[in-house]
Amino acid sequence: MIDLHTHTIFSDGELIPAELARRAAVAGYEALAMTDHGDRSNLDLIIPRLARVADELGRSWGLTVLPGIELTHVPPEHIAEAAAEARGLGARIVIVHGETVVEPVAAGTNRAALEADIDILAHPGLLTAEEAQLAAQRGICLELTTRKGHSLSNGHVARMATQAGAPLVVNNDAHAPGDLLSPEMMRRVVLGAGLDQAQVDRALDNARNLVKKALEAQE
């Protein structure tokens, strides 16, 4: 199993990177990305610190660990430049905190994110058909999440993505040890969003492809 959306004490997570990686390894994860909440005030604080330890933690605990960022509540007009800055600082997975139905994310965030150099639009809420089509055109993954609150729109996201042919991924948005769900439970959440088993498998393959792409970019 792969989780490309997790948080450490560098934002609102409970664990230092070493413990998060260790717990993920023990839980059977093959890869994870550490994607703390960031904006242009703290990208240079978070990303280099995660990048410094990612490879060594991966080697020690036997999984792939990728440094990343979740651009969060960034004004839509600044998302593209923030994403570019994050890449330059070493983020291998760039996520944007989408227009979830449970937080006051600025209107226009989804579209601005999908026009930027990102990998995943997290919990995009009631995204439009046009936004889903843009995700399909640009190869940006739309997230199905196991996290409470954010998961309320999973069914809608799954339907819009399926209709548009946009890639999906499933993430925990883990903040605490108990958020690292078992592979079976993650599959159940995605099946509950209305996907069939073949679609679930494709979503898991999409995550593996992102990991592969990130590793190739490091070489």
Which amino acid would we find at residue 190?
V
> Given this model, what pLDDT does residue 65 score?
98
Q: What is the mean pLDDT of residues 94-104?
A: 98
Alpha-carbon span 207 to 130, nearest angstrom: 23
Q: What is the mean pLDDT of residues 100-124?
A: 98
Domain count, the chain: 1
Which range of residues forms the domain containing residue 50? 2-218
Interval 8-55: pLDDT, tens: 999 999 999 999 999 999 999 999 999 999 999 999 999 999 999 999
> Given this model, what pLDDT does residue 217 score?
85
Residue 121, pLDDT > 80, answer yes
Give strand ranges (E) for 10-58: 31-34, 37-38
Give strand ranges (E) for 24-101: 31-34, 37-38, 64-71, 93-97
Which amino acid would we find at residue 65?
V
CA atoms within 13 A on the CB side of 92: 26
Mean predicted lDDT score pLDDT of the chain: 96
Residue 86, pLDDT > 90, answer yes
Alpha-carbon span 9 to 123, nearest angstrom: 21
Residue 152, pLDDT > 90, answer yes
> Given this model, what pLDDT does residue 207 score?
96
Q: Residues of the chain with pLDDT > 70: what percent? A: 100
Residue 92, pLDDT > 90, answer yes
Residue 219, pLDDT > 90, answer no
CATH number at residue 139: 3.20.20.140
Alpha-carbon span 215 to 31, nearest angstrom: 11
Q: Which residues pair with 3 in a beta bridge?
A: 32
Alpha-carbon span 164 to 147, nearest angstrom: 24
